[in-house]
Each structure stands twice: as C-alpha cells, then as structure tokens.
Amino acid sequence: MHLYTYFQSSASYRVRIALNLKNIAVDQSFIDLTKAEQHAVDYARVNPQKMVPSLMLDSGDVLTQSLAIMEYLDERYPQPPLLPKEPLARAHARAVAMLIAGDISAINNLKIRLYLKREFGANDEAVGRWIQHWLHDGFSALESLLARSPHTGDFCAGNAPSIADCTLIPQVFNARRFAVDLTNYSHIRRIVKNCEALEAF
C-alpha cells in the first residue's frame, strides 16, 4: 500500500497512527501542502479532493477521508481492533472521532485559513484566534462527553486505543502548535498521556 501524506496534516497523522497500531508497513509520498503540491494535476488524479491523506491499495484503488480509511483498515485487518465490540461503545468512539475531525479539524484546515486571509483580510493573529476558538469549542464539548460516558477508559473508548485516539492525538499536536492551554481538559490530558506512552503514536 502507498500512503500520500504530509507531516503537518492532522488527518494524515491519524492514518499513520492507525497503520502503526496495526503494524502495517506502507510506502509513503510526501505532498508538501505549503508548496500547494496537493493541487498538482498528478495528485488531483489520486485524490480529486486535493487533500491528504490518500491510501492507494496494491490493486490501484484509492481510499480517501481519514476516518473512512481507518474503518477500512479495521475491517480488512481486524487485529488489533480500532473500535470496541459493543455498539454503544463503538458509537462513543465514532462520535469522539467525528467531533474532532468534523467540528474542529475541518474548520481549522489550511484551505479555510487561506480563505479567511484572502476574502476577509484576516491577519495571522485573527487566524490564530479562529484556530484557538474552534479548538476550545470542540475540546470543551469533548471533555464533557468523555467525563459523562461510561465507555471512556484509559483511552477515549475503553482501555485500548481506537479511531478516537488516532483522531485526538493529532489535534492535541495542533493545539500545542497554536499555544492552546489544555489545563482545563483533564480527561483529554490523561488520555493523551496514555497514548503518548505507546510507540505507535
């Protein structure tokens, strides 16, 4: 398999963690987003959305969207599982992953930041406030979800890493990059510590 990735892409980072957890080796191509390489004609043929990651299978089929890729990996290579067994616990894991991927990460994406600068004349400071706002907005909700759910354990969903943790850690990496204070998010910090003790992350 061949992974199209970039080191500062949190969506790519999710898939790299999932591959590590499943001990799957892949070839990698680095698509430099700061040089707009995702817009190159050759890459648009790989992924018409012009985003990373993309996972090209040995068959030539290309998978896009990080959460869909992780679900595929989990169905195709079930051990170790990236989702709990019980439907309610699975729903919790997926809700955490989707909250982070949809309601934080997608909003703070590079193409959004470029639009804010281009169309609203936002400067770096205003863009920084935007990023911090949606990180806090999402992490506050996530902290409450983790606090109330009986499915929260050493990790976001139970006592083993799941797609939720694969999604959380790259977002925490971003939060640190943009100097977001995580003091109030004790469940998130506890889970991050448990994840970061694992080589796969």
Number of residues that bind its own copies (CB under 8 A): 49
Rounded CA separation 168/189 (Å): 10
Told to check if 122 binds its own copies by CB under 8 A, we report yes
Indicate the residue among 125 and 199 with the shorter CB distance to its own copies: 125
* Residue among 69, 82, 135, 157 that touches its own copies (CB under 8 A): 69
Of 23, 144, 184, 186, the residue at the interface with its own copies (CB under 8 A) is 144
Which string of x and - marks every residue 73-112 that binds its own copies (by CB under 8 A)? --xx----------xx-xxx-xx-xxx-xxx-xxx-x-xx
Give the per-residue contact string, 38-67, with its own copies (x = CB under 8 A; - = no). ----------xxxx---------x-xxx-x
CA of 113: how far to CAs of 117, 176, 191, in Å?
6, 18, 29
CA dist., res. 127 & res. 4, Å (int) = 27
Peptide bond into 48 cis (omega under 30): no
Pairwise CA distance, residues 198 & 201, whole Å? 6
Task: Please choose, out of 19-27, 34-42, 144-152, 179-187, the segment that lies near its own copies by the rule CB under 8 A.
Answer: 144-152
Rounded to whole angstroms, how far apart are CA atoms 41 and 50? Answer: 9
CA separation for the pair 40, 47 (Å, rounded): 10
Name residue 174's amino acid.
Answer: N
Rule CB under 8 A: choose which of 1, 26, 110, 116 binds its own copies. Answer: 116
* Residue from 80, 114, 148, 186 in contact with its own copies (CB under 8 A): 148
